[in-house]
Amino acid sequence: MESEGDSNNLSGVQHIILVLSGKGGVGKSTISTEIALALRHAGKKVGILDVDLCGPSIPRMLNVHNMNVHQCDSGWVPVFVDQEKSISLMSIGFLLERPDDAVVWRGPKKNALIKQFISDVAWGELDFLIVDTPPGTSDEHISTVEALRPFRPMGAVLVTTPQAVSIGDVRRELTFCKKLGLPVIGIVENMSGFVCPHCTECTNIFSKGGGEELAKYAGVPFLGCVPLDPSLTQTLELGKDFLQEFPKSSTYTSIVSIAQQILDKASDSSS
Ligand SMILES: Nc1ncnc2c1ncn2[C@@H]1O[C@H](COP(=O)(O)OP(=O)(O)OP(=O)(O)O)[C@@H](O)[C@H]1O
Ligand code: SF4
């Protein structure tokens, strides 16, 4: 990555990807985590920066919620999720005294912490840094994008659910990206159909295809659908790697295909 920023901590990071959603609870942290795991399975070294200050759920999803970060000369050392050190994570969850503590801060304090997270984490060499943001398009998003701008992020992955109300919020995300000059890598439709735990048949309980239609309308790539899969919920709750546990599932195929498109785009942008 051609860095023009003044922080050395991101100079070893090849590609930065922001994960955004217009609404809360649509599965942004889930998609961030699964993309990171899929990239790791593809042999990449991945960092995750969880700037969702009010709902830092990734430490639990990766089963490292009891770990602590410590300081080194160049800032915080992120938590390594595996022994091979192929996934590292920094989250406000590691700085709270108790996991259930709430971060009740006003905007300026949150923005200052986000800037610190972006400049002061010693990531080392990474192929990808995935930045999981809070829902919406608030001040915190502007701070995140502005602080990352010198490091030329690859772009944003927008997560939506199939319902019209969530799709409408993604339209706002698209406008946000355009205004801030942040490229859109593509849209992911999450909770798209329900995978029956008995027969693994996928049923479209909500309307389907809204994410794809919106992508076509906006002229941005559609990266794919991830179904609502109880096995995925369960593995995330237990902090297990879904891709390792369910390699024959259709959900596995969907997640790996999304990660592959990101890899293809990254290699296009590097060449
Ligand atoms: N495709 C899916 N299949 C099964 N469960 C899912 C799926 N996507 C998300 N979930 C579950 O839905 C819940 C909310 O997901 P998640 O925390 O990823 O949402 P979010 O958009 O990041 O939320 P927030 O607004 O708090 O940041 C979690 O319990 C997660 O395990
Ligand atoms: S999809 Fe089939 S197995 Fe699953 S609940 Fe419906 S009828 Fe039963």
Rounded to whole angstroms, the Cα distance separating 253 from 188 reads 14
Q: In angstroms, what is the span from residue 194 Cα to ligand 1's centroid? A: 14
Q: What is the pLDDT of residue 5?
A: 41
Domain ranges of the chain: 13-270
Interval between CA 223 and ligand 1 midpoint (Å)? 18
Q: What is the distance in A from the centroid of ligand 2 to the CA of 196?
A: 6
Cα-Cα-Cα-Cα torsion 38, 271, 177, 136, nearest 10 degrees, comes to 20
Superfamily of domain 13-270: P-loop containing nucleotide triphosphate hydrolases (3.40.50.300)
* Distance of alpha carbon 208 from alpha carbon 200, whole angstroms: 18
Q: Is 26 annotated as a binding residue?
A: yes
Tell me what ipTM this predicted complex has: 0.94
Is 177 within any annotated ligand binding site? no
Residues 6 or more apart whose CB falls under 8 angstroms from that of 82 comprise 40
pTM of the model: 0.93
32 is in an annotated binding site: no
Pair type for strands 79-80 and 87-91: antiparallel
Residues with a CB atom less than 6 Å from ligand 1: 21, 24-30, 52, 55, 57, 135, 190-191, 226, 228-229, 232-233, 236
Average pLDDT score, the chain: 89
Residue 196: CB within 6 Å of ligand 2? yes
Ligand with an atom nearest the CA of residue 239: 1
Express each pLDDT in 157-199 by its tens digit. Answer: 999 988 767 678 888 899 999 999 999 999 999 998 898 988 8
Ligand 2 in reach of 199 Cβ (< 6 A): yes
User: What are the pLDDT digits (tens) for 75-91?
Assistant: 899 999 998 899 999 99
